[in-house]
Structure 1
Amino acid sequence: MPTTERTQFKKLEDLPNVGKATAADLRLLGITQPDQLRGQDPLHLYQELCRITGQRHDPCALDVFMAVVNFMEGGPELPWWEFTAERKKTYQI
């Protein structure tokens, strides 16, 4: 699906891999619309979430952020766990 077709996603919960909990995390980060994910750094989102909440979140949250940013930037719809190996290699988290 080309990036231009991503405009059909109006709510965060419409995105693949995003349920109520992830949508709530994204809103804590000031992201309320799917198109705001374009150009975001997933690691920065994860680190900010940990800072804002005062706790270290499961690294799988970073996998989800990687998946949704990639998707909104035109990547394929993949389950979040497809990003686990990349996260471990890139971020050692």
Structure 2
Amino acid sequence: MNPAKVSRDNLSRLTDLPNIGKASAEDLRLLGIFKPEDVTGQDPLVLYQRLCQLTASRQDPCVLDVLMSVTDFMAGGEPQPWWAFTAQRKRLYPAL
């Protein structure tokens, strides 16, 4: 969903989260995350690494940006576009 349209008052589906569309929602389900509150307390890098293992392929690093955006949002951060996390990801995980 577009971050500008996200409200914590209306989170019932994964696609209600910022930056989560159909494909990302399927990735989250593959990871065992079925509702927005399941994201709370998750480590985005661990989720990314597990997704790479489960799909037997290296996911694009922007997938980690998306995961960072939703974990930050569920931890109380403001909804932001996924690319707002790219610089942070590059700083924290330069090998990706």
CA distance in structure 2 between the partners assigned to 1:88 and 1:82 by the alignment: 11
Q: Does 1:26 align with 2:59?
A: no
Whole-Å separation in 1 of the counterparts to 2:70 and 2:91: 19
In the TM superposition, residue 28 of structure 1 has moved relative to its aligned partner by 0.2
What TM-score do you get using the length of structure 2 for normalisation?
0.89
Q: Which runs of 5+ in 2 are unaligned?
A: 1-6
Query: How many residues were matched structurally?
Result: 89
AA at the equivalent of 1:73: A
Contact kept, 8 Å, 2:14 with 2:34, in 1: the verdict is: yes
Contact 1:7 1:35 in 2 (8 A): no
Q: Which deviations, in whole Å up to 9, do the C-alpha atoms of 1:52-93 show, x marking residues without a partner?
A: 000001000000000001001110010000000000000112
Deviation, 1:7, is 5.4
> Residue 12 of structure 2 aligns with which residue?
10
TM-score norm. by structure 1 comes to 0.92
After the TM superposition, which segments of 4 or more aligned residues of structure 1 sit over 6 Å from their partners?
none
Q: Does 1:45 align with 2:50?
A: no
